[in-house]
Amino acid sequence: MAAPIFDGKKEVNFFLAALTYYLYEDPPVKFSLYRMKPEAFSHSLEKKFCTLMAYCIMPTHFHLLLQQESDGGIQILLRKTSSSFAHYFGIKHEMHGHIFEGNFKAVHIENNEQLLHVSRYIHLNPVTAYMVENPQVYSHSSYRNYIDKTQSGLPVEPKLVLEQFRSRKGYERFVLDQKQYQRDLEKIKYLMLDD
């Protein structure tokens, strides 16, 4: 089992702040410099690499639902954010080397149905891991942005997902109705043999 990377609010907040900073093209300096004195730098928020549609930060990994806005935007965003976080984490814990294991996994979303299921999967992650019973109480996720307009301080844009439901309550039912199914699926995936 992997060691926790996001083992406290400071780690989560740093990661999310770096992610937000690198969502936009042409940042003036590295995030570590910007963070020390943001008023000294002008950061254009006009052209995005990606739009953040959903997220969930777990102790050992993270999930992001991103809409790419410019060529290679997702790769650039993840490289810069991961590098910035690894630098911060390494200094804080006096470590060298890789923080995240392997390359990130990306799935190209083909249709609206897949988009809905991926958003639900992301928001149910802490429930599936038995960290919470209700995703609404998990603070390191965009779920509350979806169901009650709670602002997480991040530029989360749930509109594309939510416009496929009559109400926020409809999305909430869509997520919670599959809570046990997702838990069961997680249990059996380890029982399957690889060919």
What DSSP state is assigned to residue 50?
Answer: E
pLDDT-above-90 percentage for the chain: 58
Q: Which residues pair with 76 in a beta bridge?
A: none
Contact 97, 116 (CB under 8 A): no
Indicate whether 1 pLDDT > 60: no
The Cβ of residue 16 has, within 10 Å, a number of other Cβ atoms equal to 21
Three-state DSSP at 41 gives: coil
Domains and CATH numbers, the chain: 9-189 (3.30.70.1290)
User: Model pTM?
Assistant: 0.88
pLDDT at 171 over 70: yes
Q: What is the pLDDT of residue 192?
A: 59
Question: pLDDT tens digits, residue range 2-40?
Answer: 678 888 889 999 999 999 999 998 888 999 889 888 888
Does residue 156 have a pLDDT over 60?
A: yes
Burial track 133-169 (b if 16+ CB lie within 10 A, e otherwise): eebbebebbbbbbbbeeeebeeebebeebbeeeeeee
HSE toward the beta carbon, residue 136, CA cutoff 13 A: 13
Q: What is the CA radius of gyration of the chain?
A: 17
In whole angstroms, give the CA distance from residue 69 to residue 53: 12
Mean pLDDT for the chain?
88
Give CA–CA dist 189/64, Å, rounded.
22
SS3 content of the chain, % helix, strand, coil (to 5): 50, 10, 45
63, β-bridge pairs: 56
Q: Which residue has the higher pLDDT, 183 or 85?
A: 85
Higher pLDDT, 184 or 1: 184
Determine the pLDDT at residue 42.
82
Q: Residue 194 corresponds to which tokens in the numbers above?
A: 């690889």
Check residue 194 and give its pLDDT.
53
